[in-house]
C-alpha cells in the first residue's frame, strides 16, 4: 500500500505538447476538512486508507499541498453544447494532478475538481460547491455499484469559503479517478482548428494506453472509432436499463472510453416517464431520457467528423464514407445491448421474436400508470409462472388492472415456455434489477444534512449503493419513491 508521498506517478498526458494542456497550480481552499473518503476507490491507486486519517490529508486534496510526483495541468477541449459548437472549453475548474500506475499496471488519472481558476475558466471562478460535489461523489459510486462504467470518487473535501452559483453556498473539492479524462471534445478542438497532427498525437496516446492491441495497425484509427462507437452504445443502453438520465450529454461530457463522465443535473426515474427531463436548464428537452440513445449517435457523428483526417487525410470523401459505415453499427449495437439487458430484467433466458413487444407493452403500461421504474421491475421478480397468484404485489402499481392482467397473462405464458423454476428466476432477476438507486430526494437529504456538518448520511448512502441488489432490514426508506407531497428536487447545469 502507498502513502501520499510514495504514489507512483507516470504523467504521460503532461508530456504531450503544450497545445493539449496548460500547467496550473491549484488555488487552495481555506481551512479544508475531510467530508468523506472512499476506501474502495483508494484501492484503485493502492493508497493506504489510513492516509485519510492524516491531519494534512484534506490539505493535499484541498489544493494547499500536492502529492509527490503530481504535475497539475488543465486540459484543452471543445465541444457541442446543446447542439451548438463551442470552439474552446477545457478544464475550467478541474486539474489533472497526474496519472498513478498501481501495482497491477493500471493507469488512473487523479483529478481535482474545484481547485480554482485555470486558463480555461472563462468567466468562472474555478470553484465547486458542496452540493454539486456531493451529487457527483454519490452518483459515480452509485453507477459503479450498478455495474455501469463510470469515473470514480476518491474523496470529498469541504471548506467554509463561500461560492456563488444560483445562491451563496459553501465550497468543496472532489478528487475524481478515471483511466482517462479524454473526451469527444478533446478531438473536436484540434479538428476544428485544423491541427491534424495533434489529432494523430492524441489518438496514438489513447491507443497506446488503452487499446494497445491497435498499436502499429494500418487501420488503427477507424478501429479506434469503431471501438468508441461500440462502448458508447453499450453505455447508453445500460443507462436506459437502469432508468438513469445524464442530463447534459454535450460532446465535452462524453468519454472516449465509454465512461459516465461529468455528473450534474442527473436523475434516476421515479415514476416512469419516457420524456423525463432531469435538467431544469434543458428547456427544449434535448437530453430527455428517451432521447439519450439518439443523442449518443449524434455525438458520435461529431467525433467521427473529427476522425476524418485520421481515417484518410488524402481522400476526404472516402473517409466520410468509411465513417458513415462505422456509425451505422451504433443502432444495432445499442439495441443488442438493450435487448439483452431487458431480457435479463424480465427473467427470460431465450430470445424470441415476441419479446420486444412484451417489454414495450410493459413500458407503455408503466408510462400510463406512472409506475415506479425501479420497483416495478424489482417486484416483477416475485411473479409466479403459474396462475395461482392472481394478484401479485406489482399489480397494485397499475390503475388499469384489466390491461395489466392481460399483459401478465402473456408474460406468465412466456415464463412457462422456458420452464425455469420461480425461485431460480427470481434470484436471477434480483441480480439485475436493483432495489436501491440514488433517487434525487435521497441525494438532497444527504446534502441538507451535510450543510449542517453532519456527513453520516453520505456514509450511509455509500454503503447502501455499493450493493444495490440485496434488500436489508431497516433500509426500506432507501428503496421507496419520494414521499407523497414532497417538494420536487430541481437540478440544473449548476448542479
Judge whether 231 is annotated as a binding position: no
428 burial type by CB count under 10 A (0-12 exposed, 13-18 middle, 19+ buried)? middle
Distance of CA 211 to the CA centre of its chain: 21
Q: What is the DSSP string of 372-412?
A: BHHHHHHHHTT--SSSS-SS-GGGGG-S-HHHHHHHHHHHH
Q: Does the annotation list 92 as a binding residue? A: yes
Collapsing DSSP to helix, strand or coil, 65 comes out as coil
Compute the distance between CA of residue 65 and CA of residue 58 in angstroms, rounded to an integer. 9
- Of these residues, 46, 109, 252, 282, which one is catalytic? 252
Q: How far is it, in rounded angstroms, from Cα 181 to Cα 108?
A: 10
125 is in an annotated binding site: yes
DSSP string, 161-212: EEEESSSEEEEEEEEEEES---BHHHHHHHHHTT-HHHHHHHHHHHHHHH-G
Is 385 labeled as ligand-binding?
no
For 281, phi then psi, to 5°, come to -85, -10
How remote is the C-alpha of 220 from its chain's centroid?
Answer: 27
Q: Residue 113 annotated as binding?
A: yes
Q: Is 176 annotated as a binding residue?
A: yes
Secondary structure element (H or E) that encloses residue 60, with its range:
helix 57-60
Say how many Å lie between the first and final Cα of the chain, rounded. Answer: 35
Q: Is 183 annotated as a binding residue?
A: yes
- Identify whether 91 is a catalytic site residue: no
Q: Is 421 annotated as a binding residue?
A: no
Confirm or deny that 439 is annotated as ligand binding: no
Tell me: is residue 31 an annotated ligand-binding position: no
Q: How many CB atoms lie within 10 A of CB 493?
A: 17
How far out from the chain centre does Cα 375 lie?
21
Binding residue ranges = 90, 92-93, 113, 125-126, 176, 183, 253, 262
Q: Which residues are catalytically annotated?
A: 252
Binding residue ranges for ATP = 90, 92-93, 113, 125-126, 176, 183, 262
Binding residue ranges for Mg(2+) = 253, 262
Amino acid at each position: 500500500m502507498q502513502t501520499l508521498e510514495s504514489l507512483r506517478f507516470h504523467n504521460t498526458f503532461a508530456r504531450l505538447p503544450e497545445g493539449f494542456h496548460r500547467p496550473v497550480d491549484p488555488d487552495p481552499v481555506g481551512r479544508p476538512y475531510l467530508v468523506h473518503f472512499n476506501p474502495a476507490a483508494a484501492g484503485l491507486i493502492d493508497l493506504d486508507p489510513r492516509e485519510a486519517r492524516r491531519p494534512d490529508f484534506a490539505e493535499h486534496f484541498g489544493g494547499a499541498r500536492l502529492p509527490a510526483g503530481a504535475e497539475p495541468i488543465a486540459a484543452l477541449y471543445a465541444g457541442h453544447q446543446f447542439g451548438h459548437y463551442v470552439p474552446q472549453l477545457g478544464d475550467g475548474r478541474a486539474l489533472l494532478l497526474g496519472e498513478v500506475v498501481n501495482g497491477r499496471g493500471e493507469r488512473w488519472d487523479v483529478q481535482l475538481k474545484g481547485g480554482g481558476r485555470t486558463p480555461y475558466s472563462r468567466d468562472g471562478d474555478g470553484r465547486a460547491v458542496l452540493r454539486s460535489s456531493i451529487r457527483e461523489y454519490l452518483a459515480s459510486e452509485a453507477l459503479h455499484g450498478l455495474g455501469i462504467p463510470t469515473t470514480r470518487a476518491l474523496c470529498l473535501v469541504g471548506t467554509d469559503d463561500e461560492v456563488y452559483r444560483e445562491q451563496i453556498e459553501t465550497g468543496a473539492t472532489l478528487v475524481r479517478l478515471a483511466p482517462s479524462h479524454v473526451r469527444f471534445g478533446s478531438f473536436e478542438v484540434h479538428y476544428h482548428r485544423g491541427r491534424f497532427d495533434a489529432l494523430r498525437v492524441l489518438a496514438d496516446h489513447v491507443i497506446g494506453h488503452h487499446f494497445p492491441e491497435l498499436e502499429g495497425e494500418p487501420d488503427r484509427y477507424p478501429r479506434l472509432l469503431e471501438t468508441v462507437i461500440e462502448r458508447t452504445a453499450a453505455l447508453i443502453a445500460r443507462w436506459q436499463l437502469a432508468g438513469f438520465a445524464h442530463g447534459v450529454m454535450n460532446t465535452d461530457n462524453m468519454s472516449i472510453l465509454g465512461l459516465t463522465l461529468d455528473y450534474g443535473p442527473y436523475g434516476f426515474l421515479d415514476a416512469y416517464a419516457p420524456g423525463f427531463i432531469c435538467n431544469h436548464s434543458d428547456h427544449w428537452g434535448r437530453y430527455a431520457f428517451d432521447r439519450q440513445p439518439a443523442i449518443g449517435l449524434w455525438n458520435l457523428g461529431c467525433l467521427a467528423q473529427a476522425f476524418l483526417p485520421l481515417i484518410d487525410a488524402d481522400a476526404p470523401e472516402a473517409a466520410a464514407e468509411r465513417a458513415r459505415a462505422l456509425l451505422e453499427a451504433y443502432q444495432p449495437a445499442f439495441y443488442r445491448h438493450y435487448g439483452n439487458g431487458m431480457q435479463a430484467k424480465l427473467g427470460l433466458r431465450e430470445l424470441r421474436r415476441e419479446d420486444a413487444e412484451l417489454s414495450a407493452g410493459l413500458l407503455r403500461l408503466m408510462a400510463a400508470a406512472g409506475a415506479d421504474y425501479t420497483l416495478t421491475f424489482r417486484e416483477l421478480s416475485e411473479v409466479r409462472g403459474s396462475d395461482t397468484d392472481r394478484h401479485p404485489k406489482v399489480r397494485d402499481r397499475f390503475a388499469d388492472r384489466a390491461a395489466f392482467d392481460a399483459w401478465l397473462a402473456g408474460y406468465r405464458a412466456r415464463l412457462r415456455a422456458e420452464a425455469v423454476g420461480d425461485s431460480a428466476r427470481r434470484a436471477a432477476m434480483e441480480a439485475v434489477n436493483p432495489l436501491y438507486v440514488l433517487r434525487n430526494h435521497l441525494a438532497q437529504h444527504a446534502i441538507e444534512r451535510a450543510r449542517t456538518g453532519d456527513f453520516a448520511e453520505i456514509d450511509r448512502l455509500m454503503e447502501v449503493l455499493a450493493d444495490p441488489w440485496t434488500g436489508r432490514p431497516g433500509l426500506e426508506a432507501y428503496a421507496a419513491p419520494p414521499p407523497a407531497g414532497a417538494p420536487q428536487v430541481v437540478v440544473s447545469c449548476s448542479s
